[in-house]
């Protein structure tokens, strides 16, 4: 079914056979200009493969329709995954132009497949007969998921509705691309330059060193200059330690104004949000849903906005009550140190750190020397070895797309299990946040395909790089996602790794965070960067005692986002949508405390508007926390966080099965029952 590549395009490295180690992309030979022609060829080849499936002379069968479709488009997938990763991790103006230019053609390509009546007729026939075809459970699951993919993409529509659905999808692809680029422009364009002791007042050495590194990276070379960017790993510690309230306010206002056009009025995201929301609502109604929230949650464990709100309601009021007590403790210190200073959002972290130090004799300046990046990477790897038998071998001889990226071979039982790329540092060419992605998915239809998995973090580079404990949790969280991709052991690509329901996908990542807090892990790996001494037991005691500190504020900060997300996607009228007013009205309606903001305001809420994956779905972290808190209790009950029988069950029932099993059944297979909410509430100190 493979169409030949035109001779004039044979020199394009994206279209060549990659004779690189492990089939990694030949990064050094790839230029942004290669992508558009490669996409054209890859889409053409994919279209030809799909046409052959749709118009096959043989009656539709599982093998010639569903499996054939799952195996189609490998060239396009290879090019797209590389392109998407570069656009997120190492972009450029030229690459961003290609991204804008390709958004609509790529959306149109997939529309043509999902709305292909002949193809869907064959899929529908296999789906209708699936119980009579002698399929095993994984094969039935593949048929059901592929069929649902087509239905949720408009395959049952016809005529004008079908054409309109396609147009909406293509326009949304363009808008979400612009949204993400606008946020990156605001993030990379802002810098708070600090000069002299007065502007560095209160900053611990690790932060001064990281700010100096950021200045050098941004070509500000005068000896006195230090830079705070809008990277979370710089701005959050600055808000925590700077004694300059005026500079804290300046940094905080910039940080919470991303997406409002800090880098130019043409980068403001409000008009994009208004159009995105109107199109999403129209998309949902075309498919028979009353609003986008109903559409988005229908294919989740929650199944409805009402079920989501039922969980959020169990958290919101207790979190506000806990936050009130936290505020009183902060204000007491503020009253002593700065009489008349009413706590504002840019003060919260500053005074919270003082309270944490007073109550637990704990602060990041004391902790960070025990959490060097290299040691914490070793810790995550060691936990994966002890739990799942994985070993990680560094390959410094293999170059990736940026010198910061480290490449590893991952083995299990003497066999190559995955290739892992670790990209840990913030830079202006990289979007904010932390995420896991892939360059190649696992599958095993015609021989084992070894996945290529990436983790991206945005730590402030230092010499050495020291992490806060929140950073350590982020490292373990993303590595948990990475393990979900690396340990995948299914036959079909559509079901592999993290291709699970959105409110289940955070379980493998969030449960792995627990090992970062385990005493035996800390004693082994948390060693002082200068002396090599292990972290003292007394410091671990204080760290664990402080685990629930500030959880009221953090839960309020997060849950407000989920409630606003849900309310926005339940709206049905958007002609007069003013996102600032909407935010304010919704926050007033739910009783949001005035001295804390949403973790992500709408203008820079990438989860919602840089794509649709988390739209009306930001709640999934809390939903998965119910699962992960209850799941980790199994290790507690067994008496060891590395109990081999529980670890094997976690591997076999959660990490390796991808989407080959319905997620509720997956959890029950591991835990022996449905999840309970109480462990999550206890974990957050809300009961």
Question: Where is 685: in which H helix or E strand?
Answer: none
Question: What secondary structure does DSSP assign to 193-257, as a single string?
Answer: EEEHHHHTTT--HHHHHHHHHHHHHTT--STTEEEE-S-HHHHHHHHHH---HHHHHHHHHHHTT
Angle in degrees, CA 436, 440, 441, rounded to 5: 80
Burial of residue 517 (number of CB atoms within 10 Å: 0-12, 13-18, 19+): middle
Q: Which residues pair with 422 in a beta bridge?
A: 406, 455
Q: Is 337 a catalytic residue?
A: no
User: 132 is written with which tokens?
Assistant: 């009579």
Which of these is catalytic: 170, 213, 260, 478?
A: 478
Write the Ramachandran bin of 362: left for phi over 0, alpha for psi from -120 to 50, otherwise beta: beta
CA dist 527 and 464 (Å) reads: 13
User: 645 is written with which tokens?
Assistant: 């029988």
CA dist 149 and 151 (Å) reads: 6
CA dist 150 and 53 (Å) reads: 15
Closest C-alpha to 636, from 472, 470, 518, 476: 518
CA dist 26 and 18 (Å) reads: 7
Residues 6+ away with beta carbon under 8 Å from 573? none
User: 141 is written with which tokens?
Assistant: 């699951």
Query: Are 133 and 126 within 8 A, CB to CB?
Result: yes
Please measure the distance between the N-terminal and C-terminal CA atoms of the chain and give it in whole angstroms.
Answer: 60
Cβ neighbour number for residue 31 with a 10 Å cutoff: 11
Looking at residue 655, the DSSP 8-state letter turns out to be: I
Looking at residue 606, the DSSP 8-state letter turns out to be: H
The pairing of beta strand 443-444 with beta strand 435-440? unpaired
Angle in degrees, CA 139, 61, 66, rounded to 5: 50
Q: Where does 338-372 have alpha helices with state H? A: 348-360, 364-367
User: How far is C-alpha 404 from the chain's CA centre?
Assistant: 20
Residues 6+ away with beta carbon under 8 Å from 44? 3
Residues 6+ away with beta carbon under 8 Å from 79? 14, 35, 38, 39, 42
Burial of residue 337 (number of CB atoms within 10 Å: 0-12, 13-18, 19+): exposed
CA dist 62 and 659 (Å) reads: 18
User: How far is C-alpha 450 from the chain's CA centre?
Assistant: 22
Q: What are phi and psi of 608, to 5 degrees?
A: -90, -35
* Catalytic residue set: 478
């Amino acid at each position: 079914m493979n169409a030949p590549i035109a001779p004039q395009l044979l020199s394009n490295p994206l279209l060549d056979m990659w004779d690189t180690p492990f089939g990694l992309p030949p990064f050094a030979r790839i230029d942004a200009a290669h992508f558009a022609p490669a996409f054209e060829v890859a889409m053409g080849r994919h279209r030809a493969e799909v046409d052959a499936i749709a118009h096959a002379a043989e009656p539709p069968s599982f093998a010639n329709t569903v499996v054939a479709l799952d195996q189609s488009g490998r060239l396009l997938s290879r090019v797209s995954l590389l392109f998407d990763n570069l656009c997120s991790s190492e972009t450029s103006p030229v690459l961003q132009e290609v991204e804008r230019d390709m958004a609509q053609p790529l959306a149109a390509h997939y529309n043509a497949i999902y709305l292909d009546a002949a193809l869907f007729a064959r899929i529908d026939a296999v789906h209708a007969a699936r119980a009579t075809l002698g399929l095993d459970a994984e094969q039935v699951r593949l048929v059901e998921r592929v069929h649902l993919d087509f239905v949720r993409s408009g395959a049952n529509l016809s005529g004008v509705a079908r054409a309109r659905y396609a147009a909406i999808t293509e326009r949304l692809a363009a808008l979400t691309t612009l949204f993400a680029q606008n946020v990156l422009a605001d993030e990379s364009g802002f810098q708070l330059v600090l000069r002299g002791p007065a502007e560095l007042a209160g900053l611990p050495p690790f932060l001064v060193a990281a700010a100096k590194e950021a200045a050098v990276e941004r070509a500000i070379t005068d000896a006195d200059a230090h830079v705070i960017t809008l990277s979370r790993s710089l701005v959050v510690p600055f808000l925590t330690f700077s004694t300059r309230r005026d500079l804290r306010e300046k940094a905080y206002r910039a940080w919470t104004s991303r997406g409002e056009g800090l880098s130019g009025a043409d980068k403001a995201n409000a008009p994009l949000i208004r159009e995105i929301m109107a199109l999403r609502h129209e998309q949902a109604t075309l498919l028979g849903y009353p609003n986008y929230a109903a559409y988005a949650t229908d294919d989740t464990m929650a199944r409805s906005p009402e079920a989501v709100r039922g969980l959020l309601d169990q958290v919101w009021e207790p979190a506000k009550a806990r936050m009130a007590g936290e505020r009183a403790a902060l204000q007491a210190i503020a009253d002593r140190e700065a009489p008349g200073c009413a706590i504002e959002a840019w003060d919260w972290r500053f005074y919270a750190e003082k309270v944490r130090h007073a109550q637990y004799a704990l602060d990041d300046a004391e902790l960070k020397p025990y959490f060097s990046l290299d040691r914490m990477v070793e810790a995550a790897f060691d936990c994966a070895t002890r739990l799942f038998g994985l070993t990680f071998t560094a390959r410094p001889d293999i170059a990736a797309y940026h010198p910061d990226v480290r490449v590893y071979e991952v083995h299990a039982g003497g066999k190559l299990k995955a290739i892992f790329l670790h990209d840990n540092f913030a830079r202006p060419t990289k979007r904010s946040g932390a995420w896991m992605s892939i360059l190649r998915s696992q599958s095993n239809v015609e021989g084992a395909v070894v996945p290529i998995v990436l983790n991206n973090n945005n730590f402030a580079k230092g010499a050495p790089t020291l992490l806060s404990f929140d950073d350590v949790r982020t490292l373990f969280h993303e590595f948990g996602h990475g393990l979900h991709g690396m340990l995948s052991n299914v036959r079909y690509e559509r079901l592999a790794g993290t291709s699970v329901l959105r409110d289940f996908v955070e379980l493998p990542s969030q449960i792995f965070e627990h090992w970062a807090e385990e005493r035996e892990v800390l004693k082994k790996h948390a060693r002082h960067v200068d002396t090599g001494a292990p972290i003292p037991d007394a410091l671990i005691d204080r760290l664990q005692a402080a685990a629930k500190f500030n959880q009221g504020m953090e839960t309020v900060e997060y849950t407000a986002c989920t409630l606003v997300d849900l309310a926005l996607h339940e709206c049905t009228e958007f002609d007069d949508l003013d996102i600032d007013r909407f935010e304010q009205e919704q926050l007033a309606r739910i009783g949001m405390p005035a001295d804390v903001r949403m973790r992500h305001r709408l203008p820079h809420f990438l989860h919602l508007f840089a794509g649709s994956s988390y739209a009306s779905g930001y709640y999934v972290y809390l939903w998965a926390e119910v699962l992960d808190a209850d799941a980790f209790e199994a290790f507690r009950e067994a008496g060891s966080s590395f109990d081999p029988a529980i670890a094997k069950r976690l591997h076999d029932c959660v990490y390796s099965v991808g989407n080959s099993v319905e997620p509720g059944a997956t959890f029950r297979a591991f835990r022996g029952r449905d999840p309970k909410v109480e462990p999550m509430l206890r974990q957050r100190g809300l009961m």
